[in-house]
Structure formats: structure tokens, C-alpha cells
């Protein structure tokens, strides 16, 4: 049953005053009044050094009061935050939903998030002391004990948002962290020319280690960035560790097994040094561009060294865990418009990732570029503390703690709904409209939410999804009409149809995104475009710069009409006919596109870790390529199976590759085990007209002959392989032409 804590009072044992004061601030934010010193339901803060460690806390609830016990301020923040997460606030009324009595001990000893002040992030470079102090308390509300800063970055004079030198921020940010006993980790790569000189590199770090009042860990990435050989990297880490422990006794050195590109022996070189069991290394980090998958890393790295996870919870494409990472089928229309760092609550996906990785690691500090992943931070931290927690409970806690004016379950439902918005083709997902309705209703019922950046982020994403869906539906209908006109030879009518403007309600919805962008920039500093808000580039969370990217072939078709205008009149109709029938096949033929069809139609699960080099959100994509080329599969091997081919018939296999100028001598194409081509890129026959008319300069096609003799009862398995550079494929077509 609920417990009434309205008009509560607060007291603090000596040594607990800081936590009690922070709690009183939180109560005032939610109720408009400071707690009393006496009278009403009582909240007490007490020290208890018998608890296992300072991450633990105990709550005792009886006789209408609650007592928080902890080693110090860190545990007390965890305790009172849990209390706030379980309270419903309505004006000055405070109702605690459940009895919280018990001892709380986190599952993982390391629980944190990166919040580095540098140019690349979409938010952090606009912050000052007030924002960082608030951020620390917010992430601690879900059990974080670590913040990660980036003190080695240079000041960027071209970034108008940066008011401070990054080292100065690292100094005062670590002071702020120390005030709430939050561990400070430093991400510090070996990533520029000065790093080649070890003495100079150590001198630079000594200045940082001396300046920062608190450092608990240093994280040098092996790559991304950095290009040292694996053995040299470990030796450099040993030198850094010696300096670190001299300057900050008790601090730890955690190198990451992130391999630089182009160094095939890096992993073996790294492991050879690690297996010497150097005392200077305290643990190893698993992150993007990893040398080994996590399970393999745990098998290889001696048990002396725990593994800390560096999960990328901030990116959506061209990253370690893209949307739907287990099947990589995020629809190209959403990926093109929402791009790499859009607002991206992905609770169920990251629960799966957490369950897959939890057995191998002692915790995590996430890779983050701003507040676009705010929900993911809370979800991940809560699972690191309470591994069995339900997602619904976490999201309701998120709503009660941050969006207390609203109905917590409705907000939780809305967050789940945003994740489901990204299932399948947005044109086939009417759920997107109901998600938007949910958030618009909450905005209407609780107008004060419009002053809360976390709600605005959710509303912004809901409106973005609806913009994509409505534009795609409208344009697909235009394309159908244009194709019908083109089939009748009425090409100018087809062009006129494709040029039809969107209706007024669409333009109003699209304009509302700009308004929300301004509000969000003012409230939290998130940079949703380059021109107005100072994003460092379109890829860095600048959703307002990508939201208008093509979601259908409408822009490409209009581009092809413009191309036709420069052709001799006698060639135009034939060219436009080829354009409208670009991907058509006859019975017994096959067309496949990664963007249009996804992995299942390949007929075989691909081995190893591939990379989807998404093309659709790039700035140059203004209609220059058809949507079927938006996804480029990048791996050492690609296999597909197909059937239904005619007997005693030779076929042509035309493949579109992303162009590569790398020297290759070991590229192989096989059909049912028969070598069709072996040698350099790309072999086969060129199709200059197809490349000129249907591709852009980034792509090239090659056509191979599949003789009748290679087919087995009308079936074929085709393999492309290159063991060093790999192959990057977007589409293929098997025809008799």
C-alpha cells in the first residue's frame, strides 16, 4: 500500500549533512517546498560502516519514517534516489509506493558513463559546472559510481559552444565528482604525433595527473583512435601506469583491446605482452573495433585481469551495436533520416546485450556522446546494479524520478513504443502514429513537461518518426502513380506527379521539430543541427540536418529526370524506361538488395562479425543514389543461396560493390564451389552504361557468367571472399540478359 510522506522532515547524523542537503533539494524541486526539520513523516540519514562497501546501503522503514544507512554520501545518494524513484509526486503530496526496507548491494562493482567535454559530442561541449553537477546526481540515481572524462583533448577554437579548456573542465569536473564520491575515469588515447615520443607523452600525462584532484582509473584505447602495434601499446601502458600510480596511489590502469585498422598481428602482439602478467595492468577493457569477441577475450585474457565493458549505447548505425544488432535490419528510411546519434531509447535491445555480456565482465562504463541516449544510461545502470530488475520497473522509475508530473506507466509505455516504432518499414507501422498521440496527450495534460528536456527528447523522437512515416507513405503513393504514367509513356506527367508537394499538415509537423530543437538547445545544449546549434557535423546527433534525407526513390527518380534532360531526345525514353525498371526481374531470375530485403533472403546466416556501412544518411545523398544502395555489407566473406533457375541455361550475375582502390590479388567468386573469378577487384565484365546511369561514383558493378553446369537442379550457392581487405556489397542480380 502507498505511504504518505507529504510535508516530510529530514535530519542527518554528523557526516551525513551533504546527502541530506541534496535530498532536500530534490524534494523542493518536486513539491515546491523545502522539508521541515521536525514534524511529519521523518527521513533520517545515518552512517553505517559495517556495510560491505561504500556502494551498499540499507533502508529501514517503520512507523511512518524511513532511515538511510551508508558509508557516506555515495551510498546515501543511491538510497534516497531509490526512495524518490518509488514516490509519486502531485503538488505537495508525496506518496511512497512500497516498503523499501532492506540491504542493497550492487551486482557489478563498476557502473558508469562517459561524459567527455570535447567537440565531437552532441551535448557535453555546451555544458558548465551546473550541468555536470546535475548530470552526476542524475546518473547516480540509477546506481552509477563512475564518470569518465577526456582530459587529453585540445581546446577547439572553432567550436563556439566550448567555453573552457578541456583540461580545466577535467579539473573542476573531477572536483564536482569528488564532492559526491563519484569515481573518475579518464579516457586518454595514444592518438597524435606527440605520442610517438614516450617522454613527451608521459610529460603530457603527468601534467594532467597533477592537475586533476581525483582520478580512479585511466583507460588508454588500443585503437579508435591510436595506431601503435599491440606489443608497443602494452609497453606504453606499463609506463603510463607507473606514472599514474606515482601521482595517484590507488588509481588503476585499464587498457582496451581495441585493434587499430590495418594491423593484422595486433591481437597476437597484445596478448603476448598481457600473458607476461604485468603488475602495472589492473584490468582490460572490451570496446568497439575489438580485437576479439567478448567471450573469446575472456578465454584468452588471464583471470588475473577482470574485463570492463565499454558498451556503445549512443550510436545507431556504423557502430558496434547498431539498431537491431542481432539482425541488423533497421529500415533504411529510419536510418537515413535519424542517422547515427538520434534520440534512441532501446531498452529491450540493451537488456539483451546486457544479458549476453554480463557473465564475462565486472561492470561497464558506457560510450556516450550526449543526452540522446539518456534512457539507455538509466536502463544499463539499473541492470548493472539490479540484474533481475524488470524493464517496466526501470522505465517507471525513470518517469517518476525525472518526469514526476506525468503518469509514470504512460511514460514507460511511450518509451517502449518509441523502440517499437523502429520495427520494420515505417510505412507499414501504424504504431508510429499511436506513439505520437501518447506523447502529445501527455504534453496536453501536463504542459509543465515542455520545460523538461527529457520529455522534449521523447516528444521530438515521436514527431521525427511520424515525419518519416508520413513522408514515406506520401511519396510511395506518388511513385506508384508515376510508374503507371511512365508505363503509358507519359514521362513528363510522371515527373509532374513526383514533384507534388507534401500537404500542409506534414509541413506543420516538420516545422515543429525545429521549434523543439530550439527548446532543447536552450534547456540542455543538445545540438540538433550544424547551422543553428553548432553540431560538429551532420553525423553527430544533428537530426534536423538528416531528417529530410530521402526515404523513397522519389528524389533519385527526379534526379534521373534531370539527367535525362541532357540526353539526346531519341535516348530519353529508353533511359527513363530503364530507370523505372531498374530492379525488375523475370520469372526464374533474382534481385537482392541489403537495404530493400535484409539478411533473410540471402538464405544463409553470415559467419563472423560483419559491418554495415550505411550510406543513406550521408550529406551527399540528395537523390544521387537509389535507396537499394543505402546499405553496404562489409565483411571478408559473403554467401547467398538461390533457386528456381532454368535448366541448361547460362546466367549473368551482376554485383554492385562499394568502390575500393586497395591493392587486392586474392578476391574470389565461387558458384557451388566452382571458381568463377580469382584475382583482383572486381573481375567479371564491366557495365559502363549501368554504372553511369544507375550508380554514383562511390559504386561500381561487375558482371560474372554463371554457366549452366554450375547449377544443381536449379540451385546455386555463391560466395564472395577476400581475406585481408574484405568485400563491400550492396546488391546483386541474377538474370539471363
pLDDT tens digits along 662-680? 899 999 999 999 999 999 9
User: pLDDT tier at 262 (50, 70, 90 boundaries)?
Assistant: confident
Give all strands of the β-sheet with 87-90 in edge-to-edge order. Answer: 3-4, 93-96, 87-90
Residue 192 confidence (pLDDT): 73
Closest C-alpha among 548, 552, 550, 530 to residue 539:
530
User: What percentage of residues in the chain have a pLDDT greater than 90?
Assistant: 95
* Residue 193 pLDDT > 80: no
- The chain-wide mean pLDDT, for the chain, equals 96
Q: Within a domain: residue 617?
A: yes
* pLDDT, tens only, 373-394: 999 999 999 999 999 999 999 9
Q: Are the beta carbons of 691 and 701 closer than 8 angstroms?
A: yes
Per-residue confidence (pLDDT) for residue 454, from 0 to 100: 98
pLDDT above 80: residue 628: yes
Report residue 28's pLDDT band, with 50, 70 and 90 as the boundaries.
Answer: very high
- The answer to whether position 576 is within a domain reads no
User: Does 282 lie in the same domain as 238?
Assistant: yes
Least confident window among 70-74, 481-485, 584-588: 584-588
Percent with pLDDT over 70 in the chain: 100
| Owning domain of residue 512 | 422-564
What are the C-alpha distances in Å from 428 to residues 424, 432, 585, 640? 7, 9, 24, 27
Does residue 469 share a domain with residue 385? Answer: no
Give, for 240, the enclosing helix (H) or strand (E): helix 230-247
Cα distance from N-terminal residue to C-terminal residue, the chain: 74
String of b and e for 192-223 (b: at least 16 CB within 10 Å)? eeebeeeeebbebbeebbeebebbbbbbbbbb
pLDDT score at 196 = 84
- Number of folded domains that form the chain: 4
Whether 569 maps to a domain, the answer reads no
- Give the CATH number of the domain where residue 264 resides: 3.20.20.80
Q: What is the pLDDT of residues 582-608, one digit of tens each?
A: 999 999 999 999 999 999 999 999 998
Are 207 and 322 within one domain? yes
pLDDT digits (tens, 9 = 90+) for 447-464: 999 999 999 999 999 999
Question: What pLDDT, in 10s, does the model give residues 698-722?
Answer: 999 999 999 999 999 999 999 999 9
The reply to whether 402 falls in a domain is no
Q: Does the pLDDT at position 106 exceed 90?
A: yes
Same domain, 99 and 117: no
What is the DSSP pairing of strand 57-62 with strand 65-70?
Answer: antiparallel
Q: Is residue 31 part of a domain?
A: yes
Interval 529-550: pLDDT, tens? 999 999 999 999 999 999 999 9
Residue 76 lies in a domain: yes
Last residue of a domain, one of 51, 74, 104: 104
How do strand 667-671 and strand 716-721 relate by DSSP bridges? Answer: antiparallel
Concatenating the DSSP letter of every residue in 306-336 gives -EEE--B-S-SSSSSS-TTTTT----HHHHH
**Residue where one domain finishes, among candidates 509, 536, 564:** 564
Domain end call among 564, 595, 627: 564
Co-location of 557 and 701 in the same domain = no
Q: Which tens digits make up the pLDDT trace of 289-341?
A: 999 999 999 999 999 999 999 999 999 999 999 999 999 999 999 999 999 99
Same domain, 142 and 165: yes
pLDDT given for residue 640 in this prediction: 98
Q: What is the pLDDT of residue 261?
A: 83
**pLDDT, tens digit (0-9, with 9 covering 90-100), for 635-661:** 999 999 999 999 999 999 999 999 998
Q: How confident is the model at residue 64 (pLDDT cuts 50, 70, 90)?
A: confident
Query: Does residue 493 surpass a pLDDT of 80?
Result: yes
Is 417 contained in some domain?
Answer: no
Mark whether 251 and 284 lie in a shared domain.
yes
Per-residue model confidence as pLDDT tens digits over 551-575: 999 999 999 999 999 999 999 999 9
Model pLDDT, residue 194: 73
Residues 468 and 555 in one domain: yes
Amino acid at each position: 500500500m502507498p505511504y504518505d510522506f507529504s510535508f516530510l522532515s529530514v535530519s542527518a547524523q554528523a557526516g551525513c549533512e551533504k546527502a541530506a542537503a541534496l535530498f532536500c533539494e530534490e524534494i523542493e524541486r518536486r513539491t515546491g517546498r523545502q522539508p521541515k526539520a521536525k514534524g511529519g513523516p521523518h527521513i533520517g540519514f545515518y552512517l553505517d560502516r559495517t556495510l560491505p562497501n561504500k556502494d551498499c546501503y540499507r533502508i529501514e522503514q517503520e512507523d511512518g519514517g524511513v532511515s538511510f544507512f551508508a558509508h557516506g554520501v555515495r551510498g546515501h545518494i543511491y538510497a534516497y534516489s531509490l526512495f524518490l524513484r518509488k514516490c509519486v509526486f502531485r503538488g505537495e503530496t508525496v506518496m511512497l509506493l512500497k516498503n523499501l526496507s532492506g540491504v542493497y548491494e550492487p551486482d557489478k562493482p563498476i557502473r558508469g558513463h562517459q561524459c567527455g567535454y570535447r567537440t565531437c559530442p552532441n551535448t557535453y561541449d555546451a555544458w558548465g559546472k551546473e550541468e555536470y553537477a546535475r548530470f552526476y546526481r542524475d546518473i547516480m540515481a540509477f546506481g552509477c559510481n563512475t564518470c569518465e572524462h577526456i582530459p587529453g583533448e585540445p581546446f577547439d577554437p572553432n567550436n563556439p559552444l566550448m567555453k573552457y579548456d578541456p583540461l580545466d573542465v577535467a579539473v573542476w569536473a573531477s572536483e564536482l565528482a569528488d564532492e559526491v564520491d563519484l569515481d573518475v575515469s579518464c579516457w586518454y588515447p595514444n592518438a597524435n604525433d606527440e605520442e610517438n615520443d614516450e617522454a613527451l607523452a608521459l610529460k603530457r600525462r603527468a601534467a594532467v595527473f597533477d592537475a586533476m584532484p581525483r582520478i580512479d582509473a585511466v583507460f588508454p584505447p588500443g585503437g579508435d583512435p591510436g595506431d601503435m602495434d599491440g606489443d608497443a601499446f602494452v609497453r606504453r601502458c606499463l609506463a603510463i601506469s607507473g606514472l599514474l600510480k606515482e601521482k595517484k596511489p590507488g588509481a588503476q590502469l585499464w587498457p582496451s583491446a581495441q585493434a587499430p585498422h590495418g594491423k593484422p598481428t595486433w591481437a597476437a602482439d597484445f596478448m603476448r605482452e598481457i600473458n607476461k602478467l604485468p603488475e602495472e595492468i589492473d584490468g582490460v577493457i572490451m570496446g568497439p573495433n575489438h580485437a576479439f569477441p567478448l567471450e573469446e577475450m575472456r578465454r584468452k585474457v588471464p583471470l588475473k585481469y577482470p574485463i570492463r565493458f565499454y558498451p556503445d549505447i549512443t550510436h545507431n548505425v556504423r557502430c558496434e551495436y547498431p539498431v537491431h544488432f542481432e539482425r541488423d535490419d533497421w529500415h533504411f528510411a529510419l536510418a537515413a533520416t535519424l542517422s547515427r546519434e538520434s534520440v534512441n531509447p532501446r531498452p529491450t535491445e540493451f537488456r539483451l546485450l546486457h544479458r549476453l555480456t554480463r557473465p564475462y565482465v565486472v561492470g561497464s562504463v558506457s560510450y556516450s556522446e550526449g543526452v540522446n541516449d539518456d534512457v539507455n544510461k538509466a536502463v544499463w545502470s539499473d541492470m548493472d546494479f539490479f540484474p533481475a530488475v524488470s524493464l517496466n520497473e526501470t522505465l517507471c522509475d525513470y518517469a517518476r524520478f525525472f518526469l514526476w508530473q506525468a503518469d509514470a506507466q504512460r511514460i514507460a509505455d511511450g518509451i517502449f513504443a518509441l523502440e517499437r516504432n523502429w520495427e520494420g518499414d515505417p510505412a507499414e507501422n501504424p504504431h508510429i502514429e499511436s506513439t505520437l498521440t501518447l506523447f502529445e496527450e501527455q504534453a496536453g495534460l501536463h504542459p509543465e513537461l515542455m520545460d523538461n528536456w527529457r520529455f522534449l527528447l521523447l516528444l521530438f523522437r515521436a514527431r521525427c518518426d511520424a515525419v518519416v512515416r508520413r513522408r514515406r507513405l506520401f511519396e510511395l503513393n506518388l511513385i506508384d502513380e508515376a510508374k503507371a504514367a511512365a508505363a503509358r509513356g507519359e514521362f513528363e506527367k510522371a515527373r509532374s506527379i513526383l514533384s507534388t508537394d507534401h500537404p500542409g499538415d506534414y509541413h506543420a509537423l516538420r516545422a515543429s521539430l525545429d521549434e523543439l530543437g530550439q527548446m532543447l538547445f536552450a534547456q540542455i545544449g543538445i545540438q540538433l543541427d550544424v547551422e543553428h546549434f553548432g553540431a560538429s557535423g551532420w553525423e553527430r546527433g544533428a537530426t534536423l540536418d538528416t531528417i529530410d534525407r530521402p526515404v523513397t526513390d522519389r528524389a533519385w527518380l527526379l534526379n534521373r529526370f534531370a539527367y535525362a534532360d541532357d540526353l539526346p531526345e531519341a535516348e530519353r525514353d529508353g533511359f527513363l524506361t530503364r530507370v523505372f525498371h531498374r530492379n525488375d526481374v523475370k520469372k526464374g531470375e533474382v534481385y537482392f538488395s541489403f537495404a530493400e530485403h535484409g539478411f533473410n533472403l540471402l538464405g544463409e546466416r553470415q559467419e563472423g562479425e560483419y559491418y554495415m556501412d550505411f550510406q543513406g544518411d550521408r550529406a551527399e545523398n540528395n537523390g544521387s543514389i537509389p535507396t537499394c544502395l543505402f546499405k553496404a555489407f562489409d565483411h571478408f566473406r559473403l554467401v547467398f543461396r538461390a533457386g528456381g533457375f532454368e535448366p541448361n541455361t547460362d546466367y549473368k550475375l551482376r554485383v554492385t560493390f562499394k568502390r575500393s582502390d586497395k591493392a587486392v590479388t586474392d578476391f574470389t567468386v565461387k558458384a557451388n564451389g566452382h571458381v568463377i573469378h580469382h584475382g583482383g577487384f572486381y573481375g567479371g565484365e564491366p557495365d559502363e552504361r549501368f554504372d553511369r546511369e544507375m550508380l554514383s561514383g562511390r559504386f561500381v558493378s561487375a558482371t560474372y557468367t554463371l554457366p549452366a553446369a554450375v547449377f544443381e537442379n536449379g540451385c546455386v550457392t555463391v560466395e564472395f571472399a577476400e581475406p585481408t581487405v574484405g568485400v563491400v556489397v550492396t546488391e546483386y542480380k541474377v538474370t539471363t540478359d
